[in-house]
């Protein structure tokens, strides 16, 4: 997020060109059957009748995903949180994880604080570290998480025309916080402190994802920006969507710190919120009524039969948008 690279294939094009094997989904062996491979928040393997194992892996690299000198407690929490968020997006029950840690040098105090942040979040979700690897080199954190689902997991591919588009929490806070990371902490306003905490300590929406199983038609976590991630749902589902910017849930902090247009840009295209974006048939809306009243989730748009992404203006007219968020290698 902080670095830049020469123009070339984006991360998704790179995966499609070099690493997507044919015949993976549906492949069976004595160990189980692969139900879903590359292309969603987690891979899904059926390990017993009606019981699926979900797996996801993410890497955080110093200078790209976090600034040099970021507190180790923050890195411990955040590195696990972004992975648990993938499990949440598929309605999974978190189970265990592995850690590959690359360090420029060993520092006992750094390691103690990193482990503190890591295990504080792991304990909350009853997760256990079961293995990994430690090597020397530029600071890099790679975690793979495993979770389980009984029945069908949520995926990106089930959205239908007429479904409502909803998001959890508030959007744009993490992207807004990037504007203040170079300021000394003692100079922060209360709003800036709130925004920075939202960036450093994301809260995986596990409970929401679990309750959406059997209700939502599609779901994804907002890691690259709402428009970009909703675009993934649309692409996998073969549909389009419109968003009403006036409905986007914005925190008081982002409204206090940024002009309206900047706050809107962060909410639509900023990443790292790790909220959930999901689609729901209108007749299922009553099942999340208490969430709507508590502003835990918000209806922000609708799925359309025509492919593409649109923003709905005050007159109700739809304006096409590219929906681009953060992309590696671009």
Answer yes or no: is pLDDT of 59 > 80.
yes
Report helix, strand or coil for 214. Answer: coil
Mean pLDDT of the chain: 87
pLDDT of the residue at 48: 65
More confident residue, 54 or 329: 54
pLDDT of the residue at 2: 40
Answer yes or no: is pLDDT of 35 > 70.
no
Average pLDDT over residues 134-149: 94
Neighbour tally for 1: CB within 10 Å: 17
Which segment of 10-24, 45-59, 314-328 scores lowest on mean pLDDT?
A: 10-24
Average pLDDT over residues 269-291: 96
pTM of the shown model: 0.84
More confident residue, 106 or 17: 106
pLDDT of the residue at 51: 78
Answer yes or no: is pLDDT of 23 > 80.
no
**pLDDT tens by residue, 234-254:** 999 999 999 999 999 999 999
Write out the H or E segment, with its range, that includes residue 260: helix 260-269
Query: Which band of pLDDT confidence, cut at 50, 70 and 90, is reported for residue 10?
Result: low
**pLDDT tens by residue, 97-113:** 899 999 999 899 999 99
Answer yes or no: is pLDDT of 13 > 80.
no
Query: Which band of pLDDT confidence, cut at 50, 70 and 90, is reported for residue 47?
Result: low
Report helix, strand or coil for 250. Answer: coil
pLDDT of the residue at 262: 97
Domains annotated on the chain, with CATH:
11-150 (3.30.1330.10), 164-321 (3.90.650.10)
pLDDT of the residue at 328: 42
More confident residue, 117 or 9: 117
Q: What are the tokens at 91?
A: 């309605």
Average pLDDT over residues 272-295: 97
Q: What are the tokens at 164?
A: 């409502």
Answer yes or no: is pLDDT of 144 > 90.
yes
Answer yes or no: is pLDDT of 25 > 60.
no
Q: Label each residue of the chain as H, E or C.
A: CCCCCCCCCCHHHHHHHHCCCCCCCCCEECCEEEEECECECCEEEEEECCEEEEEEEEEEEECCCECCCCCHHHHHHHHHHHHHHHHHHCCCEEEEEEEEEEECCCCHHHHHHHHHHHHHHHHHCCCEEEEEEEEECCCEEEEEEEEEEECCCCCCCCCCCCCEEEEECCCCHHHHHHHHCCCCHHHCCHHHHHHHHHHHCCCCCHHHHHHHCCCCCEEEECCCCHHHHHHHHHHHHCCEEEECHHHCCCCHHHHHHCCHHHHHHHHHHCCCCCCEEEEECHHHHHHHHHHHHCCCEEEEEEEECCCEEEEECCCCCEEEECCCCCCCCC
Answer yes or no: is pLDDT of 170 > 90.
yes
């Amino acid at each position: 997020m902080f670095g830049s690279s020469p123009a070339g294939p984006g991360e998704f094009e790179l995966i499609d060109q070099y690493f997507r094997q044919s015949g993976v989904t549906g492949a069976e062996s004595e160990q189980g059957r692969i139900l879903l491979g590359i292309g969603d928040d987690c891979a899904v393997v059926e390990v017993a009748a009606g019981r699926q194992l979900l797996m996801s892996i993410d890497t955080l690299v110093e200078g790209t995903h976090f600034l040099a000198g970021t507190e180790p407690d923050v890195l411990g929490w955040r590195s696990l949180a972004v992975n648990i968020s993938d499990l949440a997006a598929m309605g999974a029950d978190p189970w265990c994880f592995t850690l590959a840690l690359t360090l420029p040098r060993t520092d006992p105090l750094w390691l103690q604080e990193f482990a503190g942040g890591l295990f504080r979040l792991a304990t909350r979700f009853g997760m256990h570290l079961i293995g990994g690897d430690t090597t020397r080199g530029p600071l890099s954190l790679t975690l793979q998480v495993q979770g389980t689902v009984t029945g069908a997991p949520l995926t990106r591919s089930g959205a239908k025309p007429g479904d409502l588009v909803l998001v959890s929490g508030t959007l744009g806070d993490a992207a807004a916080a990037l504007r203040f990371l170079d300021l000394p902490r003692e100079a922060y306003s209360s709003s800036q402190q709130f925004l920075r905490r939202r960036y450093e300590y994301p809260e995986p929406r596990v409970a929401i994802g679990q309750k959406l199983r059997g209700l939502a038609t599609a779901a994804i976590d907002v890691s690259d920006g709402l428009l970009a991630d909703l675009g993934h749902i649309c692409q996998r589902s073969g549909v389009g969507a419109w968003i009403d910017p006036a409905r986007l849930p914005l925190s008081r902090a982002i409204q206090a710190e940024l002009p309206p247009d900047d706050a809107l840009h962060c909410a639509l295209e900023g990443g790292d919120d790790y909220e959930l974006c999901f689609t729901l048939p209108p007749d299922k809306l009553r099942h999340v009524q208490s969430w709507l009243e508590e502003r835990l989730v918000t209806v922000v748009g609708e799925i359309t039969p025509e492919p593409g992404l649109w923003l709905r203006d005050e007159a109700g007219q739809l304006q096409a948008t590219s929906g681009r968020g953060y992309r590696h290698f671009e």
